[in-house]
Homo-oligomer: A and B are copies of this chain.
């Protein structure tokens, strides 16, 4: 959506150095920008691209403004300011309120007039769909789910039952929320399933990525607090509690009943075992899992980056002979 630099500055509330009437209609990286593009500089790794950019305007820090050959938006947090401007230039596609003729909606469900229920959606008993919420094609919303206002379920999302979702949520395709947790008691005749009778409570402003699963609680609810961001193919097990503004990159897995604090960051394919408590402001490196309570904020890691396979094979052999090496040192010490 074409918008002038002046409108962008006013909407987001930041200083514009340049002509307010210039119009942008897209976003681009510094090196691929054209005269209709908004761009940004938030990492010094890209500073050298600034002087030659062809963008209409660049969001940047005050210290970079002098090197900017075009209009500049000055911000202490250029990445966040860029994000807000980009959302104005590229708004989510609008939708017509209403229910598609092919959707199957239970008589006891409540769908407000401003909501959109897309083609081939199934909505179960006692479901409530809030104002301006969009339920995309192929989604299935099971019994007793509540979805608050301004949510967007992109397509093929499944909410099994007893899911309570806050406002402004964004659920990507293939997301499954409210599936049974993995609870089984062993007997001599095999496993006996533990009925999973809890639900899932999701706060406001939560985004959940494609094909991620969030299980219902065994007893009591699985809880995801306000502002949490979860990427694709993550697994949130039963009775996990994820604190506000925590973010999890792709393939993160959190085992059952673990409690995670606020503002934690889980990098790709990280995770935590079950029944532990993680304090606020913990960052977990990629490919790393937490195995016990964490009481101290900070960064945690335990992964081995790839080596050439031949070197790694030698290294693995040395590792396996560590006991022998220790014996040799002990002998020398005697």
Min C-beta distance of A77 to chain B, whole Å: 6
Whether B194 lies near A82 (C-beta < 8 A) is yes
Residues 131-185 of A contacting B (Cβ, < 8 Å): 136-138, 140, 142-143, 154-156, 158, 160, 170, 172-174, 176, 179-180, 182-185
By beta carbon, the residue of chain B nearest A232 is B213
User: Known interface pairs A179-B210, A195-B27. Does A286 touch B286 (Cβ–Cβ under 8 Å)?
Assistant: no
| Chain B hits for A32, CB < 8 A | 219-220
Whether, in the assembled complex, A29 has its beta carbon less than 8 Å from a beta carbon of chain B, the answer is yes
| Chain B hits for A235, CB < 8 A | 232-233, 250-251
User: Known interface pairs A140-B136, A213-B233. Does A155 touch B155 (Cβ–Cβ under 8 Å)?
Assistant: no
Q: Mark A58-72, 1 if CB is under 8 A from B, else 0.
A: 000000000000000
The distance in angstroms between the C-alpha atoms of A176 and B323, with both chains bound, is: 46
The distance in angstroms between the C-alpha atoms of A226 and B27, with both chains bound, is: 28
Question: Which of B138, B209, B253, B299 meets A138, CB within 8 Å?
Answer: B138
Question: Which of B176, B194, B309 meets A172, CB within 8 Å?
Answer: B176
Count identical subunits in the complex.
3
User: Known interface pairs A289-B303, A322-B319. Does A137 touch B104 (Cβ–Cβ under 8 Å)?
Assistant: yes
Whether A326 lies near B318 (C-beta < 8 A) is yes
By beta carbon, the residue of chain B nearest A138 is B140
User: Known interface pairs A80-B187, A190-B244, A307-B302. Does A179 touch B158 (Cβ–Cβ under 8 Å)?
Assistant: no
Whether, in the assembled complex, A277 has its beta carbon less than 8 Å from a beta carbon of chain B, the answer is no
Question: Which of B136, B137, B185, B249 meets A80, CB within 8 Å?
Answer: B185
Whether A137 lies near B140 (C-beta < 8 A) is yes
Residues 296-334 of A contacting B (Cβ, < 8 Å): 296, 298-310, 312-316, 318-320, 322-323, 325-326, 328-329, 332-333
Task: Enumerate 26 A-B pairs (CB-CB under 8 Å) in ascending A order.
Answer: A26-B197, A32-B220, A83-B183, A83-B193, A87-B193, A120-B122, A122-B137, A138-B138, A140-B173, A154-B160, A160-B172, A176-B232, A179-B210, A182-B249, A190-B245, A250-B255, A255-B268, A284-B306, A291-B305, A299-B310, A302-B304, A302-B306, A315-B323, A318-B323, A318-B326, A332-B333
- List chain A positions with a Cβ less than 8 A from chain B: 26-29, 32, 77, 79-80, 82-84, 86-87, 89-90, 93, 100, 102, 104, 118-120, 122, 136-138, 140, 142-143, 154-156, 158, 160, 170, 172-174, 176, 179-180, 182-187, 190-195, 197, 205, 207, 209-211, 213, 215, 219-220, 226-227, 229, 231-233, 235, 237, 244-245, 247, 249-251, 253, 255, 268-269, 271, 273, 283-292, 296, 298-310, 312-316, 318-320, 322-323, 325-326, 328-329, 332-333
